[in-house]
Amino acid sequence: MLGARRKIGITLILGAMVMGGWMGGCSSLSSNHIDCNVVRLQSQAGRSDSEIASALGASVADVASCHGPEKSGNASSGGAPGPY
């Protein structure tokens, strides 16, 4: 009897962990974050912010926020490779 309860308990805990991970993953998919690399490439191709926003299903303000200085990489290096 105790073995069956233990197995049910473990199954319930694992199920709760899987559901929690699934729910956490879904919330990250619904964020308003857009890929600024895509925006940069589309801008270089000559598309306007409104065209890019329409294609990505985002707002023009979200697209415009990607036009600031690059935020990834080593900002202090200025793009030059470091000493090796």
Over the chain (84 residues), the average pLDDT of each successive run of 10 is 82 83 56 80 92 90 81 53 61
Q: Is residue 23 part of a domain?
A: no
Q: Is residue 62 part of a domain?
A: yes
Q: Is residue 2 part of a domain?
A: no
Residue 56 lies in domain: 34-70
Number of structural domains in the chain: 1
CA angle 18, 24, 29 (to 5 degrees): 125
Predicted local distance difference test score (pLDDT) of residue 1: 63
CB 53 within 8 A of CB 60: yes
**Would you say the pTM of this structure is higher than 0.85?**
no
